[in-house]
Amino acid sequence: MIGVAREGLPVTIAGLGCRVPDRVVTNDELSQYVDTSDEWIRERTGIRERRIAAPEEALSDLALPAARKALERAGIEGADIDLIIVATVTPDMAFPSTAAILADRLGAVDAAAYDLSAGCTGFMYALAQGYGMLAAGLAKRALVVGGDVLSRILDWTDRSTLVLFGDGAGAVVLETADSGGFLGFELGADGSGGENLWLPGSGSRIFEDPDRHVKMNGREVFKFATRVLVQSAEDLLERCGVAVADVDVYVPHQANLRIIDHATRKLGIPSERVVINVDRYGNTSSGSIPLALADAEADGRLRAGSLVLMTGMGAGLTWGSALIRWTKETAV
Ligand SMILES: CC(C)(COP(=O)(O)OP(=O)(O)OC[C@H]1O[C@@H](n2cnc3c(N)ncnc32)[C@H](O)[C@@H]1OP(=O)(O)O)[C@@H](O)C(=O)NCCC(=O)NCCS
């Protein structure tokens, strides 16, 4: 799916917030659980450390402070929100949705609220849905959350997945604007590659193997990721009539520094325009892009008028890009 945002009302990001757990887990600490090393992890992935949720911390405990911050930044209250979408593969529980839990905690009594599952691409899908609802006039203000507590579904004896992921959440408030905001979206899915990154036994399909942890074919996912990060971004830029040289801030999914470097080189984006935090957080799945946006905001890189390109990819296999003309001056 690809589309240019020219039909409906302009929609922009009016506020941004994020939260990661307090506990820092270094590569050295992981080498106590599995046969790995700081050197291997840094060389192959660029990751130095990640945040891991405390046993009592669920997704909504990270999403709630992130959402509160985003609301505060947008200068609105929970009651002003009429749509909440939480992109995640690790909700507090299958139901009620984490979005409904958040709606209750935030006092968003008039909000429609649901969770969305698109792997690490979830935040991009959720942004597109929020955009669509606002552009069509169905909702006035949306809270879009991306976050995961992947540490709960990792096999802590499997070095091929354990070292890659971390926990975290980010949230944005979407509002209509006079001009600027989202220029377009490109989203896709290829279910034929689904078994390269999956969680068998987590739903209604019965598997003989009761081991319910993330399973991944790292090499295949690597090939997929390097391809779609480039293709999705190029297709969207072309459809929007925007040259890659005009992109001020590039926010790729933070899965692996080698994947990001490859995409950045192929796209021809100067490295100083790329936002990177995979070194500090690892791959936080749906939290990755909003956490990186929050970093770019804190660095003063998100200026009114900046052109921001985001691309995610992940389980499904799925991918998605969004292009936005930032409308709000960064509060440093
Ligand atoms: C997982 C990944 C880092 C592996 O890197 P790689 O360079 O492809 O490494 P390989 O899979 O070829 O493995 C090389 C060797 O390192 C070993 N290895 C794997 N994980 C290891 C670890 N954590 N520590 C030490 N050695 C490890 C392998 O067993 C293999 O050993 P062998 O040659 O004796 O068989 C890489 O494939 C990757 O990033 N894939 C994408 C994953 C991803 O982003 N998933 C989420 C998408 S949203």
Is the minimum distance from the CB of 318 to ligand 1 under 6 angstroms? no
Q: How far apart are CA 293 and CA 174, in angstroms?
A: 14
Q: Which two tokens stand for residue 154?
A: 């990792």
Q: What is the pLDDT of residues 178-214, one digit of tens each?
A: 989 999 999 999 999 999 999 999 999 999 987 899 9
- Phi, then psi, of 135 in degrees rounded to 5: -65, -35
Q: What is the pLDDT of residues 211-267, one digit of tens each?
A: 899 999 999 999 999 999 999 999 999 999 999 999 999 999 999 999 999 999 999
Is the minimum distance from the CB of 163 to ligand 1 under 6 angstroms? yes
Asked if 177 and 192 touch (Cβ cutoff 8 Å), the reply is no
Is the minimum distance from the CB of 296 to ligand 1 under 6 angstroms? no
Annotated catalytic residue, options 18, 27, 120, 277: 120
The distance from CA 208 to its chain's CA centroid, rounded to whole angstroms, is 32
Asked if 145 and 102 touch (Cβ cutoff 8 Å), the reply is yes
Q: Which amino acid is at 198?
A: W
Nearest-CA residue for ligand 1 atom 24 is: 36
Quote the pLDDT of residue 7.
84
Q: How far apart are CA 163 and CA 291, in angstroms?
A: 19
Quote the pLDDT of residue 332.
43
Model confidence at 326: pLDDT above 70 = yes
Is the minimum distance from the CB of 45 to ligand 1 under 6 angstroms? yes
Quote the pLDDT of residue 331.
53
Nearest-CA residue for ligand 1 atom 48 is: 314
Burial of residue 204, with CB atoms counted within 10 A of its CB: 0-12 exposed, 13-18 middle, 19 or more buried? exposed
Nearest-CA residue for ligand 1 atom 29 is: 160
Q: What is the pLDDT of residues 79-100, one digit of tens each?
A: 999 999 999 999 999 999 999 9
Quote the pLDDT of residue 209.
86
- Strand (E) positions, 157-277? 167-176, 181-189, 197-198, 215-216, 249-252
Confidence of residue 329 (pLDDT cuts 50, 70, 90): low
DSSP per residue over 118-187, as a string? -GGGHHHHHHHHHHHHHHTTS-SEEEEEEEEEGGGTS-TT-HHHHTTB-EEEEEEEEEE-SS-EEEEEEE
Is the minimum distance from the CB of 224 to ligand 1 under 6 angstroms? no
217 counts as catalytic? no
Q: How far apart are CA 127 and CA 274, in angstroms?
A: 20
Model confidence at 330: pLDDT above 90 = no
Quote the pLDDT of residue 210.
79
Q: What is the pLDDT of residues 27-46, one digit of tens each?
A: 999 999 999 999 999 999 99
Q: What is the pLDDT of residues 57-81, one digit of tens each?
A: 999 999 999 999 999 999 999 999 9
Is the minimum distance from the CB of 124 to ligand 1 under 6 angstroms? no
Closest CA to 327 of 311, 299, 307: 307
Quote the pLDDT of residue 6.
82
Which ligand 1 atom sits closest to the C-alpha of 253?
48
Q: How far, CA to CA in Å, does 175 sit from each of 13, 100, 172, 308?
A: 6, 20, 10, 17
pTM of the predicted structure, to 2 decimals:
0.96
| Average model confidence (pLDDT) across the chain | 96
Quote the pLDDT of residue 260.
98
Is the minimum distance from the CB of 215 to ligand 1 under 6 angstroms? no
User: Cβ–Cβ contacts within 10 Å for residue 23, how many?
Assistant: 14
Q: Do you find a cis peptide bond into 65, omega within 30 degrees of 0?
A: no
Which ligand 1 atom sits closest to the C-alpha of 119?
48
Annotated catalytic residue, options 196, 213, 240, 253: 253
Confidence of residue 155 (pLDDT cuts 50, 70, 90): very high
Asked if 120 and 180 touch (Cβ cutoff 8 Å), the reply is no
Quote the pLDDT of residue 286.
98
253 counts as catalytic? yes
Q: How far, CA to CA in Å, does 104 sit from each of 79, 97, 108, 166, 210?
A: 10, 11, 6, 27, 34
Q: How far apart are CA 180 and CA 262, in angstroms?
A: 30
Q: How far apart are CA 144 and CA 86, in angstroms?
A: 6
Q: What is the pLDDT of residues 134-148, one digit of tens each?
A: 999 999 999 999 999
H/E stretch holding 16 reads: strand 11-19
256 counts as catalytic? no
Quote the pLDDT of residue 211.
85
